[in-house]
Structures are given as C-alpha cells and as structure tokens.
Amino acid sequence: MVDTSVTLAGVELQNPVIPASGTFGFGYEFAEIYDINCLGSISIKGTTRSPRFGNDTPRIAECASGLLNSVGLQNPGVDAVVAEELPKLRKCFSKPIIANISGFSIDEYVECCARMDTQEQVAILEVNISCPNVHGGGMSFGTCPESAAEVTRAVKAAVKKPVFIKLTPNVTDICAVARACEEAGADGISMINTLLGMRLDLRRRRPLLANVTGGLSGPAVFPVALRMVYQVYEAVDIPIIGMGGVSCAEDVLEMMLAGASAVQIGAMNLVEPYICRDIVSALPETMEKYGMSELKTIIGGAHNG
C-alpha cells in the first residue's frame, strides 16, 4: 500500500492532484459526472473584487498539443463567489479548497484575499499575479520581482491563511521573482501560469483571438513548466505547487521529483473531464511501478546527487 498524501504549508492533502483554476469552474460541473471528493483539493475559478465578463470571443484557439485561451478572468465577483459559489461547491466537495485571487491593484488583491481568508472551506490563498489576458493588472504585477514582492507583502499583512503566489513564465528570470515572493513572506509558489502566444486566422489574415494574444497551456508546455519548477526548487525553500501541461500520473511524479509538493491539472480537464479522477486512481500503481512508496519523500528527488 503506497502513501499518496502530501502537505502544503501545513495543509494535509490525501493526494497531490488539484484541478487548476479556470479549468474546473467552481467544481460542480464535474461533480455531475464523478465524485470529486477523490481530489486532493480544488483551485477555484480566479476571483476579482467586481464581476467581470472577460474578453470578447473568440477566446479559445487550438494548437499542437494544447490551446490558447484569452478568457480574461470572467467571474461573478468575490461577493457572489462567497454567497453562491462556495456554498454550492461545499455540497459536492467536503475538503479544504484553494481560493485563486486576481486583481488590478494592490488594494483589490488585499480586499479579495481578506474576504476569502475568513471563509471556513478555504485553506490556501493562491494569488494570481500572472494572468496574461488582462490589461493593467494580472501579469503586470508578476513580471518584476519588486511588484511581486509588494503584492505578497500587502496580502500577507492582511490574512492568516497560507499564501501561494502564482507566477508567470513570461519573464527572463522566474527564480528572481520567486525569491522576491519568498523574502516578502509568501508561504509557497504556484507555477506556471500560461505562456503568452497567438494564432492567426488564414482566411481573415487576422489574429484568431479577439484579444489578439492568449495564454498557451496543455501538454505542449509541460517540459517548460517542469524546467521552471526544477529551477525554482533550487532558488527557494517554500513549497511549490507545480502545473503546466500535466496529463497523466507519470507527469505528476516528474513534477514532484523536480520539486513540486503538489500538482495542478489544467488544460486536460477541458478535453478529458475525468482526467483528475483517472490520475488519482492511476497514481498508486504508477508509484509502485517506479518503486515509490511514500509520495512526500520524492519531492525534489531529481536534485539529489
């Protein structure tokens, strides 16, 4: 019998498999097709202070082994999430969740995080300073170490629960941003958000996405994400939630050997709605195949020697 449990900044998870924010809604679409209590946790749809429609459509474009999205943080706003979405999710998911928060100013991050901090079912705050699809917020805080640290400090001063900062890969040195977050008091790092990309519509000779650019995710980005998790693991001492193109139990193990303490599954939820459940059930036999008995002992294992 293998042990799949892991710990994230003091939060015990039965297994490391977490659907990533923006690919799982508020959980209940998936609860219609399987019992989502098998999951380690859930990172809910990115939430902002006010309701947001997001960007114009088309918001989705396909590419080899992945997709681009430019949804742009569509969400009903933190009040509606607290009043309506969290109670609905509570009915189908009994475990602690991760609240993903976005903002367009330091004040907005602080206000939303403080609001979520008081919600009993929220165990971890995941602060998204890396959305590539909004202007004047999101990724603009995550592309330089100073502003990343500033958001981290402000949020940490306002909340009690662990704060994970979600980083963008669209930077020259992700380790410098991660270190700045750690020094500013972050309890962990979530990485990576999507890679900025675009597609053209040959018939119209124009960008396919209404927003012109979008964020690339899916199996295409897995090696990039894995490399960055590996590098950041060496740069910081706080736990990492690894994500980016994970599509099977083997990918979960690779992410953890590279340095992730838990793993999020994103784009694959959109094409294989059972993927998280299937990865959870494949994990024990995959661990056995590679001679692993206790999952938490393999974290960062690729760095030894």
* Residues annotated as part of the active site: 131
- Residue from the set 32, 172, 205, 304 that interacts with another protein by CB under 8 A: 32
Interacting residues with another protein between 220 and 279 (CB under 8 A): 267, 269-271, 273-274
Q: One-letter amino acid identity for 80? A: A
Number of residues engaging another protein in binding (CB under 8 A): 33
Amino acid identity of residue 251, one-letter, is D
- Write out the DSSP string of 3-46: B--EEETTEEESSSEEEPTTSSTTSHHHHTTS-GGGSS--BPPP
**Residue 11 Cβ vs another protein, minimum distance, rounded to whole Å:** 24
Residues 6+ apart with CB under 8 A from 83: none
Give the residue among 198, 216, 217 at the shortest CA–CA distance from 208: 198
Q: Please identify, among the stretches 20-28, 112-120, 191-199, 288-296, the one whose residues bind another protein according to the rule CB under 8 A.
A: 20-28
Q: Does 290 bind another protein (CB under 8 A)?
A: no
Cβ proximity to another protein, 15 vs 211, nearer residue:
211
Calculate ∠ Cα 239-248-5, nearest 5°.
Answer: 45
Write phi, then psi, for 288 (nearest 5 degrees).
-60, -40
Among 45, 161, 179, 277, binds another protein (CB under 8 A): 45
Name every residue whose Cβ is closer than 8 Å to that of residue 62 and which is 6 or more positions away in sequence.
68, 199
- CB 272, min distance to another protein, A: 8
Q: Which is nearer to another protein, 22 or 197 (CB)?
A: 22
- Is 273 or 301 the residue whose CB approaches another protein more closely? 273
Q: Is the CA virtual torsion 248, 250, 254, 256 positive or negative?
A: positive
Least gap, CB of 262 to another protein (angstroms): 20
- How far, CA to CA in Å, does 89 sit from each of 13, 84, 140? 18, 9, 31
Question: CA 105, 241, 70 angle in degrees (round to 5)?
Answer: 50
Q: Round to whole Å and give the CA distance between 157 and 150.
A: 11
The CB-of-45 to another protein minimum distance in angstroms stands at: 8
Between 51 and 301, name the residue whose CB sits nearer to another protein.
51
Rule CB under 8 A: choose which of 7, 14, 65, 121 binds another protein: 65
Q: Where are the alpha helices (DSSP H) in the chain?
A: 28-31, 78-80, 86-92, 106-117, 139-142, 145-158, 174-183, 222-235, 249-258, 268-271, 275-289
**For residue 300, what is the DSSP state?**
T
Stretch of 67-75, 123-131, 158-166, 184-192 contacting another protein, by CB under 8 A: 67-75
Instruction: Assess 207 for contact with another protein (CB under 8 A).
Output: no
Question: Counting contacts by CB under 8 A, is residue 23 touching another protein?
Answer: yes
- Residue 25 CB, shortest distance to another protein, in Å, is 5
Confirm if 106 and 129 have CB atoms less than 8 A apart: no
Closest CB 42 distance from another protein, rounded Å: 12
**Position 35 contacts another protein (CB under 8 A):** no
Which range binds another protein by CB under 8 A, 7-15, 61-69, 227-235, 295-303?
Answer: 61-69
Q: Contact with another protein (CB under 8 A): which of 61, 98, 122, 262? A: 61
Residues that bind another protein (CB under 8 A): 22-25, 29-30, 32-33, 45, 53-54, 57-67, 69, 71, 74, 218-219, 267, 269-271, 273-274
